[in-house]
Structure 1
Amino acid sequence: MYRFLLSPRWLGGTAVALVAIVVCLWLGSWQLSRFEARASSHHGSASTAAGPPVSLDGVLTAASPLVGTDTVGKPVSATGRYDQAHQLLVPDRTLDGRQGYYVLTPLRTADGRAVAVVRGWAPGAPGQAAAPAVPAAPAGEQTVSGRLQAPESSGSNGAVAGGLPTGQLGTISPAALVNLLPYPVYDGWIASDQPAAGLTAVPTVQPQGGDGLSLRAFQNLGYTLEWFVFAAFVVFMWFRLVRREAEAVEDRRLGLA
C-alpha cells in the first residue's frame, strides 16, 4: 500500500519535508540558545550587585559610556570633590510611604567630568514653602561608594515635570543636568551607600520595564516555540498527505475510485 513512497515524486517531497524539519529545529535551537545566553547574562549581572564596588571608569568606559540593564545596581566607586555650589533637590520622591526629596550633589572627578551622587533622601512635602534643610556635602577629596543607577526619563517613576523652584531638579539625567552644570557629566547617577547624617539611603531604582529579563529575551523564547511548532506542523502534514495517498491507492485497488 505504501509502495508509492518510493516513487520519485514522493521521494522528492519527503526530502523537502526532512530538510524543512531540520531547518526549523536548528532555528528553534538557535533561538533557545540566545534566550539562555540572555538569561545567564541577566542572572550574572544580578549576582554581581552584591560584590565589591568597582571604579566607575571601569564600568562606564569610552567604548561603553551608557548605563545598561546589565550595570544598573552595580556597586561602583568614584573619587573627586563635591560641588557644593550646585547641590540640587529632587522633589516628590517616596520612601517607605513618605514624601520627600533626593539630595543630589555633583562629584567632580580628576578628568573634569562629574557624576551625580544622590547622598540620600530627606522628608518633605512637595510644593512646601521652604525646602528641607539638608547637611552640606563634605569638603576635600572624597571617595563615594554606591549603586549605579540609570538616567531617568520623563516617564520614569518619580520624575517631575518642569516649573520647579531654583535649586530643584525633576529628572535625574544628563539631559536635565547639562543646562545646570558648567561641566560634562557621566551617564546615570550613584545612589550613595553612606548617606550623610539626617539622610536615608535610597533604594536601587530599576529602569522602566522592571528588573526582569528583557523583552528581546522573551522574543527569543517566542521564536523558539514558533520554529518548533513549524517543525511539528511539517511532520503532521507529511503524515496526513501519506495517509490520504494511501487511502486513494486502496480505493483504486478496490475499484472504488
Structure 2
Amino acid sequence: MYRFLLTPRWWGINVFVLLAIPFCIFLGSWQLGRFEDRVQEHRTANEQVSESEREAPRPFAEMLPVTKATSGEPVTATGHYGKQLLIPDRELDGRRGFYVLTLLRTASGEALPVVRGWLPGVADAAKAPAPPRGEVTVTGALQASETPGDNGVSARGGLPAGQTAAISAASLVNLVSYDVYDAWVTLAEADTGMQVVPTAALPDSGLDLKAFQNLGYTAEWFAFVGFVIFMWFRLLRREIELTRDMEVGLVPDKEPVAVATAAHELVRDSG
C-alpha cells in the first residue's frame, strides 16, 4: 500500500519536507535569538541608567562619540549660551509641547546643543525663558543626534525661523555660523518653568517595534513547520485513500489514465 512512497514524485515531496522543516526551525530560532538579544539590550540599558544616576558626571568630550554604552551617561560641560531654538511637536506625559534648545559655546569653539526643558502647547519663543548669561556649567544626560523617524522625530520642513525639527549637527550647523557637536545633552534639572526631558533610547535598541517584529517572525516560521507537516500528512492520507480505491476498482489505475491523457494531448497538438 505504501509503495507509492518510492515513486519519484514522493521522493521529491519527502526531500522538500525534510529540508523545509529544519530550515524553518533555524530561521525561527534565529528570530527568537534576535528578540532575546533586544530584551537583554533593554535590560542592560535600564541597568546603565540606574548606574549612571549614581555616577559622578564626566566631561562630555570624554564620552564622545555617543554609543549604546555612553548614551544616557551623566556629563558636564562649561561654556556660554548662544543661539536658542525651539523644537515643536514633542510629547511628554501624553501632552504635546516643545523643547527649548540652547547652544552652549564651549572653549573648543564648537557648540553643544543643550535641551533646557519642555513646555506645553504650541512652540512660541515668547514662552521660552531666556538662557542664563555669562559662563555656565551644565549637567545632564548625553544623547545621540536624532534622525527623522527616531523617537517620533518629524521630518517635515518649512518650520518658522527659530525652530528646527531634529537635534542633530547636520540640521543645526545650517542655522549657526559655528561648528556643532554631533551629540546633545538634556539637563538633569530643567530651568525655571520647564519640565525635564527624559533620556531617549538609541534607535534599534531595547524593546522597540523591531523587537516585537522579531517575535512575530519567530511565530510565523514555527507555524510554517506545522503547516508543512500538516500538508505532508494530508497528501499521504489522500494517496492512501486513492490507492485503496484503485485496489477495489472504484477508480481506474493512474497509469492508464495518465497514458490516455498524454495521448489526447499529443493528438490535439498534432492537429
The change in CA–CA distance for 1:226 and 1:126 in structure 2 (over 3 A counts) is closer
Q: 1:194 aligns with which of 186, 189, 193?
A: 189
Counting only pairs closer than 5 Å after superposition, residues 25-64 of structure 1 correspond to structure 2 as 25-52=25-52, 53=57, 56-57=60-61, 59-61=63-65
TM-score for the superposition, normalised by structure 1: 0.70
State whether residues 145 and 184 of structure 2, in contact with CA within 8 Å, keep that contact through their aligned partners in structure 1: yes
Amino acid at match of 1:148: Q
State whether residues 91 and 98 of structure 2, in contact with CA within 8 Å, keep that contact through their aligned partners in structure 1: yes
State whether residues 91 and 100 of structure 1, in contact with CA within 8 Å, keep that contact through their aligned partners in structure 2: yes
Counting only pairs closer than 5 Å after superposition, residues 232-251 of structure 1 correspond to structure 2 as 232-251=226-245
1:77 corresponds in structure 2 to: 75
Matches of 2:158 and 2:231 in 1, distance apart? 58
Note the residue ranges of structure 2 that are not aligned, 5 or more in a row. 252-271
The 10-residue stretch of structure 1 (244-253 or 1-10) with the greater mean CA deviation from structure 2: 1-10
1:136 corresponds in structure 2 to: 132
2:257 corresponds in structure 1 to: none
Counting only pairs closer than 5 Å after superposition, residues 7-18 of structure 1 correspond to structure 2 as 10-11=10-11, 13-18=13-18
| Secondary structure at the counterpart of residue 235 of structure 2 | helix
Shift of 1:47: 3.4
Matches of 2:62 and 2:41 in 1, distance apart? 18
Shift of 1:116: 0.8
Matches of 1:91 and 1:12 in 2, distance apart? 62
The change in CA–CA distance for 1:216 and 1:104 in structure 2 (over 3 A counts) is same
| Secondary structure at the counterpart of residue 144 of structure 1 | strand
1:219 corresponds in structure 2 to: 213
1:43-87 C-alpha deviation (Å, 9 max, x unpaired): 3223322322565445542xxx6x7xx5797133033322x3x24
State whether residues 119 and 199 of structure 1, in contact with CA within 8 Å, keep that contact through their aligned partners in structure 2: no
2:116 corresponds in structure 1 to: 119
Shift of 1:212: 6.9
Amino acid at match of 2:249: G
State whether residues 151 and 187 of structure 1, in contact with CA within 8 Å, keep that contact through their aligned partners in structure 2: no
Note the residue ranges of structure 1 that are not aligned, 5 or more in a row. none
Residues matched between the structures, number: 241
1:135-194 C-alpha deviation (Å, 9 max, x unpaired): 514516x3523352653759737x995333xxx434443244213433321234211113
Instruction: Give percent identity, aligned residues only.
Output: 37
Amino acid at match of 2:172: L
Q: 2:172 aligns with which of 170, 174, 177?
A: 177
State whether residues 139 and 187 of structure 2, in contact with CA within 8 Å, keep that contact through their aligned partners in structure 1: yes
The change in CA–CA distance for 1:54 and 1:40 in structure 2 (over 3 A counts) is farther
Bigger radius of gyration: 2
TM-score for the superposition, normalised by structure 2: 0.67
| Secondary structure at the counterpart of residue 228 of structure 1 | helix
Matches of 1:120 and 1:90 in 2, distance apart? 10
Matches of 2:193 and 2:58 in 1, distance apart? 24
Matches of 2:122 and 2:27 in 1, distance apart? 55
Could you say which structure has the higher helix fraction? 2
